[in-house]
Structure 1
Amino acid sequence: MSDTGRKNFSDKVSETVKPDSQKGVFEKGKETVTDYADKAASAVTPKSEKGLGQSVVDSATKGRDEANAKSNSKSFGETAGEYVEAAKEKVSDAAEYISSSITGAKNDAAAGAEKK
């Protein structure tokens, strides 16, 4: 059972159990809209006005969302490390390009000198 204006718990369960690959475009769109509406209603409804079931579902959803946010976020060190690795790749690419350009120029100069 859900509070007025909230998504029914059984609807949430059935949406979660059914794989996205079996859902149509309109069904996915409806779920997205009703999920956002339910999150908004959760945020604006004071705890004192929520039923026991809705309080439990909201707490579980909030915990899941926070856990997902933490697992998806990278630390500053990880992000910096990725930038350093990308910079190393670019420097290596530039050095390879310059080396091949110089080698090509040397080969062209030698070939030109031999023709004379």
Structure 2
Amino acid sequence: MSDTGRKDFTDKAAEAVKPDSQKSYLEQGKEKVTDAGDKAASYLQPESNKGVGQSVSDSFGHGTDKGEAKSNTKSFGESASEYAEAAKEKISEAAEYIGSSLGGAKTDAEKTAEKK
């Protein structure tokens, strides 16, 4: 049972079980709108005004929201590691370029010295 104006958790479960490929565009649109409204209400409605079922459902939903956010973002360490690897590659490329440029300059200098 849900609180007044809130989406019933049995409806949420039924929507989750039915694949999107079997839903009409109207059903999918309605779900998105009602899900967004219910999610907003879950954060705005004080815990003291929620029934037991609604409180449990909201707690589960909030945990899922945090899990999705975590799985969709990289940790600072992962991002820093990727940037460090990219920097190492660029430094290596630059060193290679400088080395080949200096090697060419040395060869040119030796040829000029031989001509004198």
TM-score (norm 1): 0.68
Alignment-derived partner of residue 80 in structure 1: 80
Percent of aligned positions that are identical: 65
Alignment-derived partner of residue 66 in structure 2: 66
- Structure 2, unmatched stretches of 5+, are 98-116
After TM superposition, the structure 1 = structure 2 runs for residues 36-75 of structure 1, keeping only pairs within 5 Å, are: 36-75=36-75
Q: 1: distance between equivalents of 2:90 and 2:20?
A: 39
What is the deviation of 1:81? 3.4
What is the deviation of 1:91? 8.3
Alignment-derived partner of residue 11 in structure 1: 11
Q: 2: distance between equivalents of 1:23 and 1:6?
A: 22
Report the RMSD for the aligned CA atoms in angstroms.
2.4
- Structure 1, unmatched stretches of 5+, are 99-116
Q: 2: distance between equivalents of 1:85 and 1:23?
A: 45
Q: 1: distance between equivalents of 2:37 and 2:82?
A: 37
Secondary structure (helix, strand or coil) at the match of 2:40 reads: helix
Q: 2: distance between equivalents of 1:26 and 1:91?
A: 54
Residues 75-84 or 65-74, more deviating = 75-84
Q: How many residues align?
A: 98
Secondary structure (helix, strand or coil) at the match of 1:2 reads: coil
